[in-house]
Amino acid sequence: MRSNRATARAGVGLAATLPLLAGALAFGIPAAHAADDPGRDTLTGTKPAWATATADRGATPKGTRISARVHLAGRDASGLAAYAKAVSDPASPLYGKYLTPRQAQQRFGASKAQVAAVTSWLESAGLTITDVTPRYIAVTGDASAAEKAFGAQLHNYAKGSRTYRAPSRTASAPAGLKGAVLTVTGLDNAPHKATHKDQLPPPDDVFKNAGPFSSYHGSNVATTLPSVQGSKIPYAVEGYTGKQLRAAYGAGKRTGKGVRIAITDAYASPTIASDAATYAKKHGDAGYAKGQLSQVLPKKYTRTEECGAAGWYGEETLDVEAAHAVAPGADIVYVGAASCYDDDLLDSLGKIVDSRLADIVSNSWGDIEANETPDVAAAYDQVFMFGAVEGIGFYFSSGDDGDEVANTGTKQVDTPANSAWVTAVGGTSLAVGKGDSYLWETGWGTEKASLSADGRSWAGFPGAFTSGAGGGTSRTVPQPSYQKGVVPNSLAKANSSAGNRVVPDIAAIADPNTGFKVGQTQTFPDGSQRYDEYRIGGTSLAAPVIAGVQALAQEAHGGKAIGFANPAIYARYGSKVYHDVTDSPTHSTLAVARVDYLNGYDATDGLATSVRSLGKDSSLSAVKGYDAVTGVGSPAPGYVESWNRR
């Protein structure tokens, strides 16, 4: 399950959290299933790590209703991975030779015979087929039927303060199916707490930023506030707009015309069209042409209370407005999920791939890697690989809690950003100066100290870590080939001698203290709902910004799809097309002053004044060369045109 981060409205970008999957498929050929006995093929990763003997609370009652998805491996799973790799590699003769969805399905998807055989097996075990898609067969039935089908007893296990169902051994499928089954999801039900409210709630309560502000970095210096290491600091910007971001990242005259950007989140803002149009008009972005902004939505929504549905409206608003601000000529299609659960988010991604709804997909949601399970990881990676074959690139936020130690007590990365088949987008603090000039960037990492009671000092400066760009070394995903020779061994081999995937790949503006202004319909204290604007950040901002930049790059590429971009992104490493972002670009302490409303919308309950130090990302550091905060760096002028095919 994924739910919005509670801190999002306070200035960190809206990201989502939920238990996913472990990276069952790396950037290469998927491993074959090992057999427990000659008649069965085990479905690796279907028994979660928390289902231990000491946590076992006994057998699940036989009559318990089970809903599961049996994911289909297709005709040629190894061939799919190999083709996805080749078609994405600029050094390969197959580079850019994408397939249509129909061609991809015919070549790598499940055959009619495979679907029939899997269906027959499931029905013979007593399960009922509820849906058949190109990727999976959905079933329901009681626990006894599920146990018969998957060769594993279901038990209840203690996990924290709750008890959840899971297989007592790794699930399996009949060997006679000849590898037609990739995996099965739904046999364990952690952490599902489903509700059944199908109507979307009204917008969240209003959030506003207090001033004073800077209009660009350094334009308004806080002369009456205490100095920081001998120097006065500027107030935080009111929020950058598209004009400033386009200049910072070298958009030139490109607009992304002819490129399609998809955005996935849960639910859907009922006011997105009017909000986006109002925002574009107010800030000088090109207006939306007829059909330029569209939505693909589910028939109904579920788990709206559990997932905090209204919080996702702000995420959609940020993603749409940021992508359009950077690439005002690109078409944007919003593909909403029915809930914040994996199954529904996978369905939204699957819709994009099945009908090739877009060239570039921005995704500002995720969870910690410790919550991954390999079964769901395999399902996600399969969608990403089909996307790569079709020339679709997926971009995921790297997270907003740095190395995650402060949040979880364990150093880890976020997912699905850890997948070897997506572009993980890290975050920076961006300084845009007078005349929209690029001044510098540092890795996003914030430490906060409050103004002392007497107003003469910053109490406890530099203060405690509050948020920062996610990054680090995966514990589950092997090192992809495109990172070899670029990512230092100190990072790649931090968790194993063989090397693992390191996050992120590329970066853009994320720090809410140097953030982006958005406009959204919100609920005011008097109960009215109306449009207002506020500053926001997080890697939820960085992902759509990079998606917009990639749309500009695709336009420069002659309009031809860039597809899965990581091999090409790393091939440009070390060149001047990237800003090599470090934590000390000015060789001095970087900080801004910020004033906030205590109640989130006006001064009735008072103000809070603080200093926010920049470039302090937990244990992570932005250094010269590749790093685990900003990857290869952020796009510099020249990046977009480096994709020019001429």
Longest dimension (CA), the chain: 78
- For helices 77-88 and 101-108, the axis angle rounded to 10 degrees is 140
* Distance between CA atoms of residues 110 and 104, nearest Å: 10
* Active-site residue, 265 included: yes
* Active-site residue, 627 included: no
* Distance between CA atoms of residues 552 and 315, nearest Å: 22
Q: Give the residue carrying structure tokens 């907003």.
A: 400
Which of 71, 155, 283, 579 is an active site residue?
Answer: 283
**Nearest residue to 1 (alpha-carbon basis) of 359, 376, 397:** 376
* Active-site residue, 283 included: yes
Residue 637: CB atoms within 10 Å: 16
Q: What single DSSP character describes residue 201?
A: P
CA distance readout (Å), 157 to 18, 20, 192, 402, 554:
19, 19, 14, 31, 49
Per DSSP (E only), the strands in 338-400 are 360-363, 367-368, 393-397
Q: H helices then E strands: how many in the chain?
A: 13, 31
Tokens of 49: 């790590």
Q: Does the CA dihedral 482-347-395-539 come out positive or negative?
A: negative
Which of 3, 362, 540, 634 is an active site residue?
Answer: 540
**Coil, strand or helix at 351:** helix
* Distance between CA atoms of residues 568 and 562, nearest Å: 9
* Distance between CA atoms of residues 448 and 470, nearest Å: 18
What percentage of the chain's residues is helix, strand, coil (to nearest 5)? Answer: 25, 30, 45
Are 600 and 206 contacting, i.e. CB atoms less than 8 angstroms apart?
A: yes
**Coil, strand or helix at 133:** coil
* Distance between CA atoms of residues 345 and 354, nearest Å: 14
* Distance between CA atoms of residues 609 and 223, nearest Å: 14
Which of 41, 265, 285, 381 is an active site residue?
Answer: 265
* Distance between CA atoms of residues 592 and 611, nearest Å: 6
643, amino acid identity? W
Per DSSP (E only), the strands in 452-597 are 458-468, 472-478, 500-503, 506-509, 516-523, 529-536, 578-579, 591-597
Residues recognised as catalytic: 265, 283, 540
